[in-house]
Amino acid sequence: MKNSKFPPKADPAVAERIKKYNLKLVIFKFLIFIFNFSLFFFCFSFSCFAQEIKDADLAGSWYPANKEELSALLDSFLSVVSAQEINGDVIALIQPHAGLVFSGPVAAYGVKAVKGLGIKTVIIIGFAHRKQFDGVSVYNQGAFDTPLGRLNIDKELSEALISQNKKIKSYPSAFDEENSIELQLPFIKKAFPDALIVPVAIGDQDFSTVRILSDALYNVLKDRKDCLLIASTDMSHYLSYLDAIERDKRTIGILKQMSADSIFRENILSGGNMFCGVSGVAAVVLAGQKLGADSIKILKYANSGDTAGDKSRVVGYLSAVIYKSKIKNEESKMKNDNTGVQNEEDKKEGTEGMFTDAEQKRLLDIARQTIAEYLTTGKTKDFHESDPVFLEEKGAFVTLRKHGDLRGCIGNIMGKGPLYKTVRDMAIESAVNDPRFKAVTKEEFKDIEIEVSVLSVPAREFNPANIIMGKHGVIVKKGFYSGVFLPQVAAETGWSREEFLSNLCSHKAGLPPDAWKDKDTELYTFTAEVFSE
């Protein structure tokens, strides 16, 4: 019997065949591995490529997903809007971003104003409703899809923007279902079919971020004349119809000052119910000014109660254009000499014409009657004025002189309430509360001459060389320090522009005389209509 514990000796021919079979099996498995890896790599690459095309997340809800329907809706908005003349170089728009049936009738005004300008790239400054993050996100590759076709990203400009500051980065998730960006796209595609876009989302409503973004925008756009900035924002939210109009009217007044910090500060004081996209608005205003913008034109204001909603709880919408005025630039060239002194004809143009002789007399009477009443009874006299010009919110100063010498001067740069009440209240302040003088007495009041200065809204001035002596009053601000000189100070002192600014800093603001040269010091100019008894 054979021993079964030990196998028989293997046949060499069989062993060779097994060896060849195993080698083929290894090669086959390797080829399968290569095939699977290639398939995975192809799918992964395709997937990555596909992710570069940002879907139209809100199509079908916030606006029509059908190309023909969307195009017809946009055309219906644009067809009833007339293009408003912008006498200057357009730098930016402020546009709403609610559902198109609500905000589209207002947004159409801005689109109509800039259509045909030869814009190559549109930079959309929105904010992240649904994502919280520090700083600013820029979408820097691929394209955004819309029912009207794709809008490609200006990759070069996007990357340049990101390179400006570490707080500016690429965070694509910030743009998911983001209406502040997406609701601008159909109008952009309609107005500028071949334009590139740079979508920008602000993650934190912080003024330091505003400064960073405005500096970055200036740096990448200062040599470009074919770009358009859009600040995407709605206005007040969920107030009653009349309350919204009142709130938004005040917001528009502040916006017209073109002061980014005022816009931001007032939005905080209002509990955030001025501009939902306040950081974007402030950044665009500040960047626009650095790029030469000196004017803002309100194209259209309405709220959802006017467009497609009920009037119990409304949202406000604004379309406005920020631009560099050709008229102001031409006037500046014609009127200014190297010293910045304005001739007599120009002084008259800059300081007269707001009020009739009768209206000037009435404001002076209000100031005199107020002081007389206060010195006699200690009470503030009440007035009831119906003239619309007296009901506007305007800043005003009341100046008192005795035999030609200053006896008191106090005012309010920004109007708080009707003009006639500002004049009334500042008359009392000048008479009894100017810390430089003793209070005016009842006995000497007969010798007091009253002067009233009604101010225009201050505007930020980045170039001190543009300040015109005799025409411009100036506000200087740095940190917690500030001071103001009225336009007539230059005429009374004979100072040069440099002397005017140095004395303003040192004597009124408590700053070093040359603080006005510091890049962190803010200058604001205004004009005044000055009249006296």
Write down how long the chain is.
533
Give the pLDDT confidence score for residue 404 in this predicted structure.
Answer: 83
In a domain? residue 119: yes
Over 60: is that where the pLDDT of 192 sits? Answer: yes
Strand 314-325 versus strand 295-303 pairing type: antiparallel
Question: Based on the domain organization, do 415 and 499 belong to the same domain?
Answer: yes
Per residue in 209-221, pLDDT (tens digit) is: 999 999 999 999 9
Candidates 400, 395, 397; CA nearest to 431 is 400
In a domain? residue 419: yes
In a domain? residue 19: no
Give the pLDDT confidence score for residue 204 in this predicted structure.
Answer: 84
Residue with tokens 């500042």: 426
In a domain? residue 190: yes
Give the pLDDT confidence score for residue 13 in this predicted structure.
Answer: 61
Q: Helices 278-290 and 207-221 meet at what angle, rounded to 10? A: 40
Per residue in 497-529, pLDDT (tens digit) is: 999 999 999 888 889 999 999 988 999 888 888
Per residue in 134-149, pLDDT (tens digit) is: 899 999 999 999 999 9
In a domain? residue 340: no
Over 50: is that where the pLDDT of 42 sits? Answer: no
The whole-number average pLDDT for the span 222-230 is 95
Question: Based on the domain organization, do 103 and 251 belong to the same domain?
Answer: yes
Give the pLDDT confidence score for residue 334 in this predicted structure.
Answer: 47
Per residue in 424-482, pLDDT (tens digit) is: 999 999 999 988 889 999 999 999 999 998 888 788 888 898 898 888 989 999 887 88
Question: Based on the domain organization, do 200 and 134 belong to the same domain?
Answer: yes
SS3 168: strand
The whole-number average pLDDT for the span 252-265 is 85
Over 70: is that where the pLDDT of 50 sits? Answer: no
- Which of 277, 309, 329 terminates a domain? The answer is 329
How far, in Å, are 231, 328, 330 from residue 464 at the CA level? 27, 16, 18
Give the pLDDT confidence score for residue 48 in this predicted structure.
Answer: 42
- Which of 314, 329, 344 terminates a domain? The answer is 329
Question: Based on the domain organization, do 304 and 450 belong to the same domain?
Answer: no
Question: Based on the domain organization, do 389 and 428 belong to the same domain?
Answer: yes
Over 50: is that where the pLDDT of 346 sits? Answer: no
At 6, the pLDDT band (50, 70, 90 cuts) reads: very low
The CATH code of the domain that includes 98 is 3.40.830.10
At 342, the pLDDT band (50, 70, 90 cuts) reads: very low
Instruction: Look up residue 13 and give its two tokens.
Output: 């021919």
CA angle 164, 166, 171 (to 5 degrees): 100
Could you give phi then psi for residue 441, rounded to 5 degrees?
-95, 160
In a domain? residue 426: yes
CA angle 414, 416, 420 (to 5 degrees): 100
Per residue in 95-104, pLDDT (tens digit) is: 999 999 999 9
Question: Based on the domain organization, do 321 and 420 belong to the same domain?
Answer: no
SS3 192: coil
Question: Based on the domain organization, do 102 and 191 belong to the same domain?
Answer: yes
Number of domains observed in the structure of the chain = 2
Instruction: Look up residue 305 and give its two tokens.
Output: 């109660």
Q: Which domain holds residue 129?
A: 54-329
Per residue in 282-300, pLDDT (tens digit) is: 999 999 999 999 899 999 9
In a domain? residue 41: no
